[in-house]
């Protein structure tokens, strides 16, 4: 991922297998008489030398062309990148300068398909791209392209991209990275947009973007985050075409970190919750789940939000039997449908024995306080044994889908990445759904 320390003109290298040259200029020196038949003379290569020498191979010359932006192009999107092709090149250098000759920082996109400026280019400005390729002969080949970016689009044609998480947030090991766009991204533009959301982590963790809806993307690691992981996201959407004459409003970043490895597991058969830290059980808590007519969901959820005090109000429920207004302590939301972990002093006598709630995970006041003080937004909870399966999209249910299915939500065919070599100078290395921006439905107690 590009970082503020990225060199202005990075040198790109690649391995190339040399192609053996045909000996089109070689032949046997003219001989006559018996010598031609008896073989008492070895053939002599044209150009001198004895029969044991071969001609010197001429080092291949490098060549390079810039395919985008084209030379003299006008109205180029400010989110453009430099696309080029180099042949027989051992090293390649890219330079981009503005009209005043000032260098523009940038680096190759991680997929190698183009050189990406460190930030969106200025609107209505002229730039010159120069790509220099050097082959085995040491002689450089150069291509240049001067182009002009488009005028700034009106605000009504700019699409914002926002993160659910704030900078420097500390998240649970099950938290997904969530980004929303100000309008639906057409399917034809989703791969290009997704490609500009660059994620790096330290230590490295494999992960992928998936489209939760046309306006929402989630990035999930293949397995739960490692405690202490540093996460850096660079959204390179500024000036990027997003379909229908719409363009990304600006570039943005997100920096966050992963807290302690806390996981919660609930078994409906035993009416117990097990709290695990670093994979080891550290506490067992009696629970009461949803009554038979309002069962809790079985599946893997994550804590969406936490409220020390709140009010559960279902007075608008069409069924009078389900109407109530109750003060709640230590509430932790799990689904948009209203399932929470929360203190329920009125059901302590049932906790660990039977299910009496409206779908929530009822615990005692003391246990609710313990959980509230040890969990984070993104702490995973897995419930098993209830008669109701968790609906995908009812909350952040990314972990309730197998990895092999989850990757299918990516607009770019997924290929497992190779673990990168650490660079100490770089940033840390990298179904219908509900709409979290909508008002969540009433909670269950």
Residues annotated catalytic, as ranges: 342, 360
Taking CA 165 as the corner, what is the angle to CA 4 and CA 289, rounded to the nearest 5 degrees?
A: 150
- Asked if residue 426 lies in contact with residue 1, where contact means CB atoms within 8 angstroms, the answer is yes
d(CA 175, CA 23): 63
Q: What are phi and psi of 403, to 5 degrees?
A: -55, -40
Rg (CA), the chain: 31
- Asked if residue 286 lies in contact with residue 361, where contact means CB atoms within 8 angstroms, the answer is no
> Tokens standing for 18?
């040399």
Helix (H, G, I), strand (E, B) or coil at 188: helix
Burial of 73 (0-12, 13-18, 19+ CB in 10 A): middle
d(CA 43, CA 290): 94
d(CA 158, CA 61): 45
- Asked if residue 306 lies in contact with residue 332, where contact means CB atoms within 8 angstroms, the answer is yes
The residue written with tokens 């995973």 in the block is: 380
d(CA 82, CA 192): 15
- Asked if residue 328 lies in contact with residue 388, where contact means CB atoms within 8 angstroms, the answer is no
Listed residue (171, 95, 108, 80) closest to 140, CA to CA:
95
Bridge-based pairing state of the strands 115-117 and 388-389: unpaired
Residues 6+ apart with CB under 8 A from 202: 229, 230, 422, 428, 429
């Amino acid at each position: 991922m590009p970082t503020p320390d990225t060199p202005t003109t990075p040198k790109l290298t690649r391995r190339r297998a040399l192609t053996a040259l045909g000996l089109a200029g070689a032949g046997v020196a003219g001989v006559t008489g018996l010598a031609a038949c008896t073989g008492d003379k070895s053939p002599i290569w044209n150009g001198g030398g004895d029969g044991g020498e071969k001609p010197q191979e001429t080092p291949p010359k490098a060549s390079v062309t810039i395919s985008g932006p084209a030379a003299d192009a006008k109205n180029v999107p400010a989110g453009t990148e430099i696309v080029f092709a180099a042949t027989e090149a051992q090293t390649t250098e890219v330079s981009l300068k503005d009209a005043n000759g000032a260098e523009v920082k940038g680096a190759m996109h991680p997929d190698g398909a183009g050189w990406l400026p460190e930030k969106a280019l200025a609107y209505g400005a002229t730039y010159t791209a120069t790509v220099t390729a050097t082959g085995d002969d040491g002689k450089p080949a150069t291509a240049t392209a001067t182009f002009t970016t488009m005028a700034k689009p009106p605000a009504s044609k700019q699409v914002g991209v926002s993160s659910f998480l704030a900078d420097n947030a500390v998240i649970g090991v099950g938290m997904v990275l969530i980004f929303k766009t100000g309008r639906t991204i057409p399917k034809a533009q989703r791969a290009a947009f997704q490609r500009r959301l660059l994620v790096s982590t330290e230590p490295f963790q494999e992960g992928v973007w998936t489209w939760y809806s046309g306006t929402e993307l989630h990035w999930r690691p293949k397995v739960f985050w490692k405690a202490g992981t540093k996460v850096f996201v660079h959204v390179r959407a500024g000036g990027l075409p997003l379909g229908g004459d719409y363009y990304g409003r600006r570039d943005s970043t997100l920096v966050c970190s992963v807290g302690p490895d806390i996981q919660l597991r609930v078994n409906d058969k035993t009416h117990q919750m097990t709290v695990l830290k670093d994979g080891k059980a550290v506490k067992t808590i009696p629970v009461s789940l949803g009554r038979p007519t309002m069962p809790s969901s079985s599946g893997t959820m994550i804590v969406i939000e936490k409220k020390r005090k709140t009010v559960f109000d279902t007075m608008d429920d069409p069924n009078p039997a389900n109407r109530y207004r109750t003060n709640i302590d230590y509430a932790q939301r799990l689904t948009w449908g209203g399932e929470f972990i929360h203190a329920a002093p009125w059901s302590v006598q049932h906790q660990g024995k039977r299910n009496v709630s409206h779908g929530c995970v009822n615990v005692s006041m003391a246990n609710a306080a313990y959980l509230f003080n040890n969990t984070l937004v993104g702490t995973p909870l897995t419930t098993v044994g209830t008669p109701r399966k968790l609906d995908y999209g009812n909350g952040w249910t990314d972990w309730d889908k197998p990895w092999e299915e989850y990757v299918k939500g990516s607009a770019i065919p997924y290929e497992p990445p190779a673990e990168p070599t650490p660079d100490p100078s770089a940033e840390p290395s990298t179904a219908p759904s509900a709409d979290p921006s909508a008002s969540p439905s009433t909670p269950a107690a």
